[in-house]
Chain A
Amino acid sequence: MSTSLLLLIIVLIGFIAYFTGRARSLALTGGKLANLHSLPGYHGSYVAIWAVLPAALVLAAWLIASPLYIDSAVRAALPGSVQSQGAANVQLALGQVKSVAVGLNRLNAAEVAAIESGSANLRQTLAAKGVALAGEGEPYMVKAAQHLNATRLHSRWLMSAAVLLVAVAGGLYAIRNIAARFRARNQVERVMLGSLIVASSIAILTTIGIIGSMLSEAGRFFSMVSPTEFFFGTVWDPRFAAAGSEAASGQFGLLPLLGGTLYIAFVAMLFAVPVGLFAAIYMAEYASPRLRSTAKPLLEVLAGIPTIVYGFFALVTVGPFLRDISTQLNGLVTGNYQNFIQAQSVLTAGIVMGIMLIPFVSSLSDDIITQVPRALRDGSLGLGATRSETVKKVILPAALPGIVGALLLTASRAVGETMIVVLAAGVAARMQVNPFEPMTTVTVKIVHQLTGDLEFTSPQTLVAFALGITLFVITLCLNIYALYIVRKYREQYE
């Protein structure tokens, strides 16, 4: 019985349980609904929960546990000659046995018999059925695969029986509990509360998942490459090791990537902060309601545009434009028509990222500026200060902590931005200060190391997780500090 069919049956049982429970409670009322403690629907739900929830838990537990159990059983059944060859070979053999097992299921009885007697080639027979084997199959594999298939079939039947039994038993138990004064609603609400708690713990689980997965993968990386080499290395050259060699060739220096990341983020902030801040000030202090109600949503459109669109914009419009304009400038000044700005450069990526960040800066600062109490403004204006003086001398100092928080949040976005830099910043990892030359960032290298064919044991792919955790820690610190400042600021004026 397939898992989805089983799920369907459980749901069906749940429906039946609901209506049975409901009907039973109604039968107990004696014609007067007020005799019941809970509404009939709650009685129905109570029975349905008892029918579905334990069965679903059993199903989930079985689905998780049985592959582990079957794996270890098959592993133990492998012949001693394989067992003695080390963990990697056992893993390889296990993988082959699994492929054979899948293949055997597609063969008919005659073909299986031919393979068992050795008259048909295992690999060719299976390849004809669309199952590719990594190597020539050995006789013991067929036995092991048959054993595996049999165990799987057993496990599947046992699971179906157990799950259905639990569902029916749960439903029956719950029906027996139903009585006129039975507090079905309280029980149902307790389950609801439990599911609410489970839902809100997903946020925590996500964080734990992020940290845990990245730490473990990065840990594997650091067992091959020393952390000092990674964090303080100045050369990024992750040459792929020749096939079969275990050696970690290549150098994994973080500094050129980090340098590029911070440089590009800096250029972006240099562009976005003045524009965004002035736009926010104008919007909050000067603009008429009409201008505000059109300009503000229009600026926020910039925030809604996907970053891949910005990347494409940088690639085909901004980059070539800067390159051509530098050619003309150079030609006018020196007579040598040679571009000094590369199409992919720190400047290109920085400017386009800056455009993307304008709405972040402006809407965050706008919120903070409008939170400054009216009284401060009126006091300053009443003393004869002009509006700009009020802004510069009163509002900005009062809003400064909040604005710093907003800028830090924006900076964390700039550091973590991926698609713009992938398309516009270039791939050359080097340390230099010329903004007209390409540089690369942490995010670009994560994408590069993890696209294409993957092998999860080489440092070349695992380094992406070390880069990822670095990025995560940097943005985490920026975010937490920024959120802390913004929160403090809010409390100050509330």
Chain B
Amino acid sequence: MTDLASPAVMVSSRSAENRRDIGIKRRYAAERRFRAYGISAIAIGLFFLAVLLWSVVSKGYTAFQQTTITLPIEFSEKVIDPKNERATDPKRLQTVNYPVLVRDALVKQLGIDPKKRPLVKQASDMVSDSVRTQLRDIVVADPSVIGKTIPVTLLADANIDSAFKGQIDLKVAESKRKVKDQQVAWMNELAEAGVLKKSFNTGIFSFGASSRPEAAGVGVALVGSAYMMLIVLVLSLPIGVAASIYLEEFAPKNRLTDLIEVNINNLAAVPSIVYGLLGLAVFVNFAGMPRSAALVGGFVLTLMTLPTIIIATRAALKAVPPSIRSAALGLGASKMQTIFHHVLPLAMPGILTGTIIGLAHALGETAPLLLIGMVAFVVDYPGSPLEPSTALPVQIYMWANEAERAFVERTSGAIIILLIFLVFMNLGAILLRRRFERRW
């Protein structure tokens, strides 16, 4: 281009080029820097997501395996019921010192001299304390086992469990760790004999709270969470949809509906702990509902979820084109019929998506539940929403506060379970949107 131009133009264009040249280099460098900032910001976000998930999964996947010891337990009548009172005294079978049976079986299996007390103690420490209830339940369910020898699969103690999974550094001096060398030797011996082995941990899904990590599970918490989700769904979906229909389709534009609108937007941003205070003051304190009950938790989470559902529902209703309404009205349907027969079904995918996302939030919510007393040590399954129960995230919170290292594994395992639930709910929402979303 410059070759063809006249000399006079060339001079001016060269000077202009010089001027531009300096600027452009700097400006392009700034452009590249800016772009790099953007990429690194996204990278930082994704990096932390990866670290978070990796940290939870790497700590928690072992929680789905549990070391068990299968021993032939002799339900000796001498230990369980020496005076043969079980027919007359029903409490007799409840109070037996069952761990003795396990101790004897273990001593026999390992060939320890029963007179060496410290050794016997070390051996019986390898088995969880939960054997007491486990054996008691077996005997109470079927007293005819007394006098027989049957193989029973027992939970290993949390320390042995950790050692067997290779989580305990055995190079550390023996006095500084919880597993003794002798126990490790026994552990390997039992493992070689096929008596001690790792298997899938069904307990984490079925057990309740326990101070012993190996016997602790989220089963009871899952039931509590299920009750609450049911209550939230049953209450918040109809109320939320009804409220949105009124606000979107019927409400006149005036100060009051404006106020409701601002109010709902604001409620969506109120800290969740405030809902906990509300639940404590109104439901528990004023209305006299039971503390720690899933019912109150469900109510509180309902109030918390409602704004989310209302906002999603209104958006879904807004997205239905006016032509649908006009067509229905034109054919003689009343306004109510138009909305319930035509607009609402078309908006349903959007509403359900919003509801699932709201439920997912409610499922992971912890803070308000702490305040209404769901931080409870609940061992038994709650039979109804009125009984004391706990919830999955609260269980995670309680385990996170436990000092024992084996609880870190359990906590991470429980978080994995929670995240899997959330992933499924969100996937469901996405699929619903993909499958039914209509572009008008």
Contacts and interface: CB of A to CB of B under 8 A. Distances in A.
B48 A197 contact: no
Contacts of B366: 306-308, 418-419
10 contacts: A185-B334, A200-B247, A304-B426, A306-B422, A309-B56, A317-B55, A416-B271, A418-B271, A447-B367, A471-B273
A450 B284 CA distance: 13
A57 interface: no
A304 B422 contact: yes
A83 B240 CA distance: 48
Nearest to A208: B263
B243 A306 contact: no
B406 to A, nearest CB: 13
Given A358-B45, A388-B30, A450-B371, A418 B272 contact: yes
B61 to A, nearest CB: 15
Interface in B267-321: 267, 269-278, 280-282, 285-286, 303, 306-307, 310
Interface string A182-200: 0001000100110111011
Given A199-B243, A423-B400, A388 B35 contact: yes
B64 to A, nearest CB: 17
A416 B272 contact: yes
Contacts of B59: 316
B17 interface: no
Contact of B277 (A193, A419, A446, A454): A446
A223 interface: no
Interface of B: 27-28, 30-31, 33-35, 37-42, 44-46, 48-49, 51-52, 55-56, 59, 238-240, 242-247, 250-251, 259-260, 262-267, 269-278, 280-282, 285-286, 303, 306-307, 310, 334-336, 360, 363-367, 370-371, 373, 375, 393, 396-397, 400, 408, 411-412, 415, 418-419, 422, 426
Contacts of A295: 42, 46
A282 interface: yes
Contact of A203 (B48, B55, B251, B306): B306
A475 B370 contact: no
Nearest to B412: A312
Contacts of A309: 52, 56, 364, 396, 415, 418-419
Interface of A: 185, 189, 192-193, 195-197, 199-204, 206-207, 209-210, 213-214, 216-217, 274-279, 281-283, 286, 295, 298-299, 301-302, 304-313, 315-317, 355, 358-359, 362, 386-389, 391-392, 409, 412-413, 415-419, 422-423, 443, 446-447, 450-451, 454, 456, 464-465, 468, 471-472, 475-476, 479-480, 483
A399 to B, nearest CB: 15
Contacts of A388: 30-31, 33-35
B277 A196 contact: no
Nearest to B256: A204
Nearest to A193: B250
A456 B418 CA distance: 34
A192 B35 CA distance: 56
Contacts of A415: 271
A200 B45 CA distance: 38
Contacts of A464: 277, 371
A397 B260 CA distance: 32
Nearest to A450: B371
Nearest to A461: B280
Contacts of A412: 269, 271
A428 B174 CA distance: 36
Contacts of A216: 281
A464 to B, nearest CB: 7
A213 B260 contact: no
Given A192-B336, A311-B400, A313-B55, A418 B306 contact: no
A316 B400 CA distance: 9
B243 A203 contact: yes
Q: Determine which residue in B27, B259, B281, B303 has the highest number of CB atoms from chain A within 10 A of its CB, and name it.
A: B281
A454 B373 CA distance: 10
Sorted from nearest, which 9 A-B pairs have the closest CB atoms?
A416-B271, A282-B38, A306-B364, A278-B41, A213-B281, A199-B242, A388-B34, A200-B243, A196-B246
A412 B268 CA distance: 12
A308 B393 contact: yes
B269 A475 contact: yes
Contact of B270 (A202, A310, A475): A475
A472 B396 contact: no
A331 B240 CA distance: 58
A416 B364 contact: no
B44 A275 contact: yes
Contacts of B271: 412-413, 415-418, 443, 471-472, 475
B436 to A, nearest CB: 19
A342 B371 CA distance: 28
Given A209-B278, A386-B28, A418 B400 contact: no
A197 B246 contact: yes
A447 B303 CA distance: 20
Contacts of A454: 373
A276 B38 CA distance: 9
Contacts of A422: 367, 397
Contacts of B335: 189
B273 A447 contact: yes
Given A196-B245, A206-B303, A302-B49, A468 B41 contact: no
Given A214-B281, A451-B375, A409 B269 contact: yes
Contacts of A185: 334
Given A213-B282, A301-B49, A307-B366, A313 B273 contact: no
Contacts of A196: 242-243, 245-246, 250
Given A302-B45, A304-B422, A200 B30 contact: no
A278 B30 CA distance: 14
Nearest to A480: B266
Contact of B418 (A203, A306, A386): A306
A279 B37 CA distance: 8
Nearest to A412: B269
B37 A278 contact: yes
B400 A200 contact: no
B7 to A, nearest CB: 27
Contacts of B40: 278
A306 B265 contact: no
Contacts of A199: 238-240, 242-243, 246
B397 A419 contact: yes
A61 to B, nearest CB: 15
Nearest to B415: A309
Contacts of B49: 298-299, 301-302
Contacts of A206: 267, 278, 303, 306
B307 A203 contact: yes
B336 A472 contact: no
Nearest to A291: B42
B45 A362 contact: yes
B282 A209 contact: yes
Contacts of A471: 271, 273-274
Nearest to A409: B269
A389 B56 CA distance: 41
A313 B56 contact: yes
A362 B46 CA distance: 13
A298 B239 CA distance: 32
A313 B375 CA distance: 20
A459 to B, nearest CB: 16
A416 B274 contact: yes
Contacts of B422: 304-306
Nearest to B416: A309
A409 B334 CA distance: 41
Contact of B262 (A193, A214, A480): A480
A359 B56 CA distance: 20
A298 B46 contact: yes
Select the residue from A196, A391, A476 with max chain B CB neighbours within 10 A. Answer: A196
B408 A316 contact: yes
A316 to B, nearest CB: 6
B278 A210 contact: yes
